[in-house]
């Protein structure tokens, strides 16, 4: 939509909005946002300053293996958080691993949103057969635990892919598995809201002008359904990262050659009892920080956008 030329700019409106006010007043939200920003930026700028590229076997030296964190006896620069049994720097592995985890989280939320919003709008707007077909498919998917769907999908797709592509396609398989169970929640929310909105008179006014159905759905109805979707998407971003970590921990996610946080935890888990706690503890901490900051932000957003709590 073109806005009247004399409207205030987006930045000015953001600064004046209720949401921004509520954000600045809520310490936990500011804390979570700053923490999340630090985590994401550090993960994506890692190649600039990380001591080594943990994905590149040529950079790993076995004589650097099993070094404890730098503040313990035997700790060595530049291995701040120590190294694992392959001589891989834990800090670098965490940064690179977070990058994969975050990318998979974002990709699965985006694809789930696209499918969920599209099918939710169509189901809510057209009703009848379209609604029944889409929602029953969703019901079936919801009745199977997410992890089980993910295991099934990744097992099947992995078998279908040629061996050369298995490692490369692992991220794609993970995204597909998370999306398959994730889109239903968005579709249900959007469908319920759309079914309410499409009966409102502003939609009828647009129908009177013979505005095409697709445009009514996307420019009239969708903006009025976005609030709960925004909250769900934020919280699901944390969930997606966790699901990815779970699958990788179970050994059906990212391969050890391209470790995500879950893979790192799985690998480190084996050495927990041999005294090398740093291999598993730091990836776990990173995963916790990531998910907690996302969830804090999502919780704040849910309260801030809830008109009943104002």
Partner 1 sequence: MTIPALTVTHLSRLFNVSAPWLNRVIERKPKAYLRAVDDISFSVPSGGCLSLVGESGCGKSTVARLVTGLYTPTNGQMQFANGKNGKPLAAQMIFQDPYASLNPRWRVFDIIAEPLRELKLRETDAEITERVGELLTTVGLAPRDGRKFPHEFSGGQRQRISIARALATEPEFLVCDEPTSALDVSVQAQILNLMRRLQDEMGLTYLFISHDMSVVRHMSDQIAVMYLGRIVEQAATEVLFANPKHPYTQLLLETIPNVTDPKRDREVQSGEVPSPMKPPSGCTFHPRCPQADARCAAERPEMQAYSDGSRVACHRVAETMAALAVPLVGERRLSA
Chain contacts with partner 1 (rule: CB under 8 A): 1-7, 200-202, 204-211, 220, 223-224
Question: Between residues 2 and 143, which has the closer beta carbon with respect to partner 1?
Answer: 2
Question: What are the C-alpha distances in Å from 90 to residues 80, 190, 279, 289?
Answer: 8, 42, 7, 16
Q: How far is the CB of 309 from partner 1 (least distance, A)?
A: 18
Tokens of 208: 């009177």
Q: How far is the CB of 160 from partner 1 (least distance, A)?
A: 37
Q: Burial-class residue 163 by CB neighbours within 10 Å (0-12, 13-18, 19+).
A: exposed
Report whether 217 contacts 121 (CB < 8 A): yes
Q: How far is the CB of 304 from partner 1 (least distance, A)?
A: 17
Q: How far is the CB of 8 from partner 1 (least distance, A)?
A: 8
Question: Between residues 223 and 251, which has the closer beta carbon with respect to partner 1?
Answer: 223
Q: How far is the CB of 301 from partner 1 (least distance, A)?
A: 18
Report whether 238 contacts 210 (CB < 8 A): no
270-298 as b/e: b if 16+ CB within 10 A? ebeeeebebbbbbbeebbebbbebbbbbb
Question: Between residues 133 and 165, which has the closer beta carbon with respect to partner 1?
Answer: 133
Question: Between residues 110 and 211, which has the closer beta carbon with respect to partner 1?
Answer: 211
């Amino acid at each position: 939509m073109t806005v009247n030329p004399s409207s205030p700019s987006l930045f000015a409106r953001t600064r004046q909005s209720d949401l921004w006010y509520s954000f600045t007043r809520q310490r936990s939200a500011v804390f979570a946002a700053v923490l999340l920003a630090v985590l994401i930026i550090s993960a994506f700028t890692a190649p600039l300053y990380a001591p080594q590229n943990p994905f590149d076997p040529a950079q790993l030296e076995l004589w650097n293996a099993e070094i404890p964190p730098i503040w313990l006896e035997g700790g060595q620069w530049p291995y701040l958080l120590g190294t694992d049994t392959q001589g891989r720097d834990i800090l670098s592995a965490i940064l690179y691993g977070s990058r994969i985890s975050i990318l998979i989280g974002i990709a699965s939320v985006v694809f789930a949103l696209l499918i969920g919003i599209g099918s939710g709008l169509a189901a809510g707007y057209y009703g009848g057969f379209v609604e029944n077909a889409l929602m029953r498919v969703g019901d079936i998917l919801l009745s199977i635990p997410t992890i089980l769907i993910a295991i099934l999908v990744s097992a099947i797709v992995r078998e279908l892919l040629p061996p050369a592509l298995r490692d490369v396609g692992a991220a794609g398989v993970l995204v597909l598995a998370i999306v398959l169970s994730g889109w239903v929640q968005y579709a249900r929310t959007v469908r319920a809201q759309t079914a309410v909105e499409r009966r409102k008179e502003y939609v009828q006014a647009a129908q009177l002008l013979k505005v095409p159905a697709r445009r009514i759905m996307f420019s009239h109805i969708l903006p009025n359904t976005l609030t709960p979707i925004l909250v769900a998407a934020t919280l699901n971003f944390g969930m997606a990262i966790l699901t990815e970590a779970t699958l990788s921990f179970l050994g059906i996610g990212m391969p050890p050659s391209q470790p995500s946080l879950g893979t790192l935890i799985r690998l480190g888990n084996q050495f927990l009892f041999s005294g090398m706690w740093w291999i598993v503890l730091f990836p776990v901490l990173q995963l916790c920080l990531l998910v907690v900051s996302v969830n804090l932000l999502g919780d704040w957003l849910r309260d801030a956008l809830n008109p009943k709590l104002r």
